[in-house]
Structure formats: C-alpha cells, structure tokens
Amino acid sequence: GAGVSQSPSNKVTEKGKDVELRCDPISGHTALYWYRQSLGQGLEFLIYFQGNSAPDKSGLPSDRFSAERTGGSVSTLTIQRTQQEDSAVYLCASSRLGQGDSPLHFGNGTRLTVT
C-alpha cells in the first residue's frame, strides 16, 4: 500500500518567510510524528499527534514552529519567519498506534533550505 507522503520534497525560501510542510500518513495510522534531521544534530523529535490532538509538543524548538492535524489524517508543520538555522530535512512518520511496540513508518522528508 501507499507509504507516508510528504510535500514538497524540496523547498527553498528566503529568511523571514513562512513555510508550510505537509504530511499524508498511512491510512488507518492514528499516530503521527514530525522529526527534523540536520547535519549537526542528527534526527530530533519535534511533535507527536494522536488523532487530532498533540499530547507531546516538547521537541518544537521555538514558538515559530507549529503543527496541526485535521480529520485524524493530514498534518501540516508551519515555520514562521524562517531563519537559516531552520535549514534541515523535516521527516514525518506515522504508526498504527501511539503506544507500545508499533514501529514508525517514515516519509522521504521535505528538504528545507533557508537563504
């Protein structure tokens, strides 16, 4: 079946602009996660959704970052007033359950470059 889909695959934006990154999880997966992968920091957890609610936002690096999920499916990660340090690959993952031994299925990411 279809895997996790992310769009756009690449995004170049100017410093100070807002960007929206989209994630379409595997159908039926209730849990959705956003991670960021950068050269200096590796893979970092950003936020977790169970259904439409976000019980864990502890990884969001600043209040410029926000995310929402609607209809228990598609999620959007928004970065306002982008900075050069926001340049990274943003990965979305989903899992069937948000607890226990339910492995993550990752998308191929959105490569964000802030100039």
Q: Which residues bind another protein (CB under 8 A)?
A: 4, 31, 33, 42-45, 48, 56, 91, 93, 95, 98-109, 111
Distance from C-alpha of 56 to C-alpha of 16, rounded to nearest angstrom: 27
Alpha carbon 70 to its chain centroid, in Å, reads 14
Nearer CB in complex with another protein: 37/76: 37
Q: How far is the CB of 104 from another protein (least distance, A)?
A: 6
Q: How far is the CB of 93 from another protein (least distance, A)?
A: 7
Nearer to another protein among residue 64 and residue 111 (C-beta) = 111
Rg (CA), the chain: 13
Q: Cβ 42 to another protein, closest distance in Å? A: 4
Lookup result for tokens 């920091």: 41
In angstroms, the CA 7 to CA 10 distance is 8
